[in-house]
Amino acid sequence: MAIIFDEKNKTFNLDTGISSYILKIYDGGYLLNLYYGKKIPESCISGFDTRPRNASFAPYDKEIGNGDFSPDSAPIEYGADGAGDFRISAIKIKNSNGDSVTDIRYKSHKIYKGKPTIKDMPATFATEDEATTLEITTIDEVTSMEVVLVYTVFENTGVLTKSVKIKNNSSKVAFIERAFSICNDFPTMKYDLISLYGRHAFERDIERRPLAHGVQGVESNCGISSHRQNPFVALVAPNADEDHGDAYGFNLVYSGSFSALVECDYNNSSRLIMGINPNGFTWKLSPNETFYTPEAVCVYSPDGIGEMSRIFHRFYNKHLIRGRYKTEKRPVLVNSWEAAYFDINSEKLLDFARAAKEIGIEMLVMDDGWFGRRNDDTTSLGDWYVNKQKFPDGLTPFIDQVHEIGLKFGIWFEPEMISPDSDLFREHPDMCVHVDGREPKLGRNQYVLDVSRADVRDIVWAQMDAVLSANKIDYLKWDFNRYISDASSVQLPPDQKKEFLHRFILGTYDLMDRLTTKYPDILFENCSGGGGRFDPAMLYYSPQIWTSDNTDAIARLSIQFGTSLCYPASVMGAHVSDHPRTSYGTKADVALWGSFGYELDIRKLNEEQKTEFKGHIAQFHKYYDLIHYGDLYRVISPFERGDKVAWEFVSQDKSQVLLTVVCIEGKVPENFILKMKGLDENAYYKDEESGEIYSGAQLMYVGMNISYQVNGTYGSKKWYFTKVDK
């Protein structure tokens, strides 16, 4: 059993196979976090129950712990607001009398096999044999608020998930002002905080900083998880690198505004909280109602940041990605966007399809511009019916012809948006997100559609469903091209207005649920101006996300390295485009690290290029399983070294290895030794190209001299090794 309750010592031991997470029910029902780190056999560890109340200003209760206990210094498992703990709190509930003092204590618990779902929200999943769940019910005796802390341990994975349920057991209305998904107290502040910041077309740059006293962290206030900060943070030992040291990673399964904060206190301990951003959030909880927080995924690795990432990757491929394309090979696609932008029509796209078929591309994706009167980004979002000027016979005969050519067919939607110049807006101007009496701000010439409203969702779904049910559509790209300003819904009463942003996200989940339930065979790719909604919640619905609108292979290196901190290769949409900086060869080598495709005018290829592209596609097929399901090793990071970048995929059984090196700056070739990672040191590997055989130990510890082999600015080279008998 991965979760054990020690009755005598009142401790819980949550064992992920790699880590132990130990909780204690202390005097007065305080729930304490004794330990989270490398697996230990004990379930009761002494000396960590409390931290001394070493400051005279720390509030205490003289009945508890001989008067030496303060909730302000103890390792409180789920910090509550206002009752003696001055650190950043995970929960704050405004009671019917208007105060928001919240004080929760242990009441009961249950442990069971498997994992529950979370009402109306995406979450990771497991069979009964794969996971064990602990629910600890805590209660605020004064207000009758029940707060249930839900922990699931995925056996032998290194992964623990957490979420919280808040139930109003009183007879009066209360307001939740903060409800974080996780709260984790660490006894030290000797960590670096790693986060992924960015902006449109430059997503998920890795930023690392030592913790300092006070509150620090990252947030999105954009209404969606955003390009600006990803809902991922890690706390790592100051000396941790890819291969060594403690690394804790936290990823929120949520697509809305989030907050991930760490406070280092006067005791030099630290507390991390992560969840819905309380800025812009309050939830009215009527008697007997329950509120559910999103889930957070917690990973611990004693073997560095690289292994932390691999734990996330294996976990997401198995316990988050769903549907047909979880295991089925995804088709190589060509997308019309960078090839033609809005200038598409049936004839041109059929020419694309024929040219694509000739070189082995398997799917045509018709991006933006097929609907309403859309010739640029100023019109028609919300009018999801075909543009007859571009498709005179309608969509069905055109799509049928694409299939006759022998390609699958994909389509683009941006369901949660509305153009001011659209039939939908002219008919229902109240359906855009706005505050009465204020002119809502534009973003990319568009407004946001208020999908927190069921009636609005029904209208947009009816339009999408009409297109999807009348045609054989194999793929759908779901876009979202602005952030949410003027956040309010005209239908919500004043005391619920601040529920809007969360209700909006629940509305999005509802639409995505309708899509994936009714059309399980559609390959669904999420997008938000590239990677503006690159989060685990979206991955629950769509097995891949368009990583970035930046298709320059060199810029992509940083974007893909950053993204890979917690997201696997299988989920990163990566295309070869006409961006002029590098050769097609380098672009293909970089795009192979992801869900591969093209984004260029495929009609214009000359014979030599056609042969080259056929070669990329053959490689895509050859390396598909290795890249999608293998282990990633970041060998040389663009964040560390300016001249060369290298990464490897190693199959789970360590029998195949694909190493890729990109030269960023072709200086005079140095004596360049590259040490590989993750191989079986006792095995032998054959380099497919040269036929040379090396021991795994040699490749890892002596390294390969690759001087003169990847030279020239922006050149790249791959090495493929297979395990052989010597």
- Enzyme catalytic residues: 479, 549
Using Cβ positions, the residue closest to ligand GLA within the complex turns out to be: 368
User: Is residue 367 a contact residue for ligand GLA (CB under 6 A)?
Assistant: yes
- Single out the segment in contact with ligand GLA by CB under 6 A; choices: 89-97, 523-531, 533-541, 638-646: 523-531
Cβ proximity to ligand GLA: between 146 and 368 the closer is 368
Question: Which position among 527, 553, 636, 663 is part of the footprint of ligand GLA (CB under 6 A)?
Answer: 527
Q: For 652, list phi and psi in degrees, rounded to 5.
A: -55, -35
Q: To the nearest 10°, report the CA torsion of 95, 98, 103, 105.
A: -20
Q: How far apart are CA 266 and CA 281, in angstroms?
A: 29
Cα within 13 Å of Cα(691), Cβ side: 0
**What does the DSSP 8-state code read for residue 57?**
T
Cβ proximity to ligand GLA: between 178 and 575 the closer is 575
User: Is residue 530 a contact residue for ligand GLA (CB under 6 A)?
Assistant: yes
Q: How far apart are CA 101 and CA 92, in angstroms?
A: 7
Cβ proximity to ligand GLA: between 443 and 669 the closer is 443
- Nearest approach in angstroms of CB 526 to ligand GLA is 10
Question: Which position among 65, 280, 415, 529 is part of the footprint of ligand GLA (CB under 6 A)?
Answer: 529
Cβ proximity to ligand GLA: between 72 and 367 the closer is 367
Q: Which residue has the tokens 């890249």?
A: 627
Cα within 13 Å of Cα(93), Cβ side: 27
- Single out the segment in contact with ligand GLA by CB under 6 A; choices: 189-197, 504-512, 526-534, 559-567: 526-534
Question: Which position among 69, 232, 546, 629 is part of the footprint of ligand GLA (CB under 6 A)?
Answer: 546
Question: Which position among 81, 362, 479, 648 is part of the footprint of ligand GLA (CB under 6 A)?
Answer: 479
> Residue 666's closest CA among 707, 617, 724?
707
Q: 3-state DSSP call for residue 649?
A: strand
| 25 CB-contact burial (10 Å; exposed 0-12 / middle 13-18 / buried 19+) | buried
Structure tokens at 4: 């054990």
- Single out the segment in contact with ligand GLA by CB under 6 A; choices: 203-211, 524-532, 551-559, 632-640: 524-532
Site string for ligand GLA, 4-43 (x = CB under 6 A): ----------------------------------------
- Nearest approach in angstroms of CB 321 to ligand GLA is 21
**What does the DSSP 8-state code read for residue 698?**
I
- The size of the interface with ligand GLA (CB under 6 A), counted in residues, is 11
User: Is residue 549 a contact residue for ligand GLA (CB under 6 A)?
Assistant: yes
Binding to ligand GLA in span 313-342, by CB under 6 A? 337
- Nearest approach in angstroms of CB 630 to ligand GLA is 27
Q: For 477, list phi and psi in degrees, rounded to 5.
A: -100, 120
User: Is residue 368 a contact residue for ligand GLA (CB under 6 A)?
Assistant: yes
- Single out the segment in contact with ligand GLA by CB under 6 A; choices: 204-212, 501-509, 525-533, 578-586: 525-533
Angstrom distances, CA of residue 556 to CA of 561, 592, 699, 717:
8, 12, 27, 16
Q: How far apart are CA 297 and CA 312, in angstroms?
A: 9
- Nearest approach in angstroms of CB 300 to ligand GLA is 34
Pair 224, 443: CB distance under 8 Å: no
Beta-strand pair 408-413/417-418: unpaired
| 666 CB-contact burial (10 Å; exposed 0-12 / middle 13-18 / buried 19+) | middle
- Nearest approach in angstroms of CB 378 to ligand GLA is 12
Site string for ligand GLA, 384-423 (x = CB under 6 A): ----------------------------x-----------
Angstrom distances, CA of residue 186 to CA of 79, 180, 189, 247, 449:
13, 17, 7, 13, 42
Question: Which position among 20, 89, 446, 481 is part of the footprint of ligand GLA (CB under 6 A)?
Answer: 481
Residue ranges in contact with ligand GLA by CB under 6 A:
337, 367-368, 412, 479, 481, 527, 529-530, 546, 549
